[in-house]
Amino acid sequence: MTSREAAPVHHSPSTWQQPFPAPASAERSALIGALADRVLARGTARLLVGIDGFTAAGKTSFGHELAACIAESGRPVFRATLDDFKNPWKDRHLYDRESGEGYYRNAYDYEAAKRLLLDPFRSPEAASCALCSIDPLTQETHAAKTTPLTRDAVLIVDGVFAFRPEIDAYWDFRVWLDVDAELSVRRGAVRDRNWAGSDAESIHRDRYLVAERLYLAEVDPLPGMDAIVDNTDFARPRLVEHG
């Protein structure tokens, strides 16, 4: 990776934030660095990177690590998550969002993600973009909070269903974090116990996992990946397939 002065990483104003993970191992850092090099090899114009995988596969942490590594090369990085582009809870009576199929089909507002974030980032003429539509915790609208864009910026977006047909064409580089379905449920239940309580495991098994299986069956995103990373062991991630 070319050595330049480090550039900033711009984060969403959403309160739905995960802290930057502590370094897990030299092995993990090396894998992140290798993927950063592959992203940067795609060119000096703006680049869009999508990171997908089962719930609790480690997408957000992986995105933070990749962003920090790319920023060290001197390229400004923008971090976003699709969770900041969901339909508002106040409208949940208009659609089913609490079953697995309802979550898959109705939870995300892809039109907002395109209008506020993806289309501006893809357009060389656009001078700014919004990194959040609606805060998933406070339900505050952040669409008017924009961040100036540079010509060489890299956007890293994590989220389930990132390669649905509605937004799949935007990505210059696609990453899938691979974990076993049961591990996804266990990790997610532990992570979300604070807000979901004793329902955490059933939410992950009966809603999120059902939604993921629908996604895999309908879209079959894995053949289009540029990198598939086995993220079962955070300290020993493994590149299992790439384009």
pLDDT tens digit sequence for 45-88: 999 999 999 999 999 999 999 999 999 999 999 999 999 999 99
Rounded Cα distance, 204 and 68, in Å: 30
Q: How many Cα neighbours within 13 Å face the side chain of 217?
A: 8
Residue 238 lies in a domain: no
220 Cβ neighbours under 8 A, 6+ residues apart: none
Q: What one-letter code names the amino acid at 9? A: V
Rounded Cα distance, 57 and 112, in Å: 25
Residue 35 lies in a domain: yes
146 Cβ neighbours under 8 A, 6+ residues apart: 128, 129, 130
Domain that holds residue 40: 9-13+20-231
How large is the angle between the packed helices 209-219 and 181-191, nearest 10 degrees?
140
CB count, 10 Å around CB of 231?
24
CB count, 10 Å around CB of 234?
13
Predicted pLDDT at 196: 67
Residue 2 lies in a domain: no
For the domain that residue 31 is a member of, what is the CATH number?
A: 3.40.50.300
pLDDT one-digit tens code per residue, 191-227? 877 776 778 788 888 899 999 999 999 999 999 999 9
Residue 120 lies in a domain: yes
pLDDT one-digit tens code per residue, 5-47? 999 999 999 998 888 888 889 999 999 999 999 999 999 999 9
Residue 192 tokens, joined:
């979300």
pLDDT one-digit tens code per residue, 90-124? 888 778 888 999 999 999 999 999 999 999 999 99
pTM: 0.93
Number of folded domains that form the chain = 1
Q: DSSP letter string over 99-129?
A: SHHHHHHHSB-HHHHIIIIIHHHH-TT--EE
pLDDT one-digit tens code per residue, 142-188? 999 999 999 999 999 999 999 999 999 999 999 999 999 988 878 87
Residue 200 lies in a domain: yes
Residue 53 lies in a domain: yes
